[in-house]
């Protein structure tokens, strides 16, 4: 069974490694949505890596940062195949966290 590894932009268009690196250096460009929830931050980002074996061709992800005991913690919540799904997923996680502030 084969796999594909490469880089894509925010719209799913292929990028060379050099193009991806230039875009990835811009941290503000990578962040698609960010919400502060007390000591935690819900963040959805474009990482642009298209790997059908590691992340199922999902170049976007949502994570919850902070709230760990004694150290900064990062909990990956979900990955997405498109920008639109990532933004919908972010809103869904935000609503769930607001309804249950202690949840992840």
Lowest mean pLDDT among 19-23, 50-54, 75-79, 94-98: 50-54
Does residue 104 sit within a domain? no
Please give the average per-residue pLDDT across 7-18, as a whole number: 91
Asked if the structure places residue 11 within a domain, the reply is yes
> Containing domain of residue 30, as a range?
5-99
Q: Please indicate, yes or no, if residue 89 is contained in any of the structural domains.
A: yes
Position with higher pLDDT, 54 vs 99 = 99
Q: What does the pLDDT average to over 75-87?
A: 92
pLDDT at 1: 45
Given a contact cutoff of 8 angstroms between Cβ atoms, the answer to whether 62 and 89 are in contact is: yes
Closest CA to 74 of 102, 101, 40, 34: 40
Domain count of the chain? 1
Bridge partners of 79, per DSSP, are 61
Whether residue 76 is predicted with pLDDT greater than 90 in this model: the reply is no
- What's the token pair of residue 43? 């963040």
Residue 4 has a pLDDT of 63
As a whole number, mean pLDDT of residues 41-62 equals: 83
């Amino acid at each position: 069974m084969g796999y594909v590894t490469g880089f894509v932009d925010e719209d799913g268009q292929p990028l060379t490694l050099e193009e991806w690196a230039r875009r990835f250096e811009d941290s503000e460009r990578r962040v698609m949505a960010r919400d502060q929830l007390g000591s935690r931050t819900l963040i959805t980002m474009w990482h642009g890596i298209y790997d059908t074996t590691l992340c199922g061709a999902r170049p976007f992800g949502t994570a919850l940062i902070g709230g760990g005991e004694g150290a900064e913690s990062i909990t990956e919540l979900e990955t997405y195949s498109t920008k639109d799904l990532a933004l919908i997923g972010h809103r869904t996680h935000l609503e769930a966290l607001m309804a249950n502030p202690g949840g992840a």
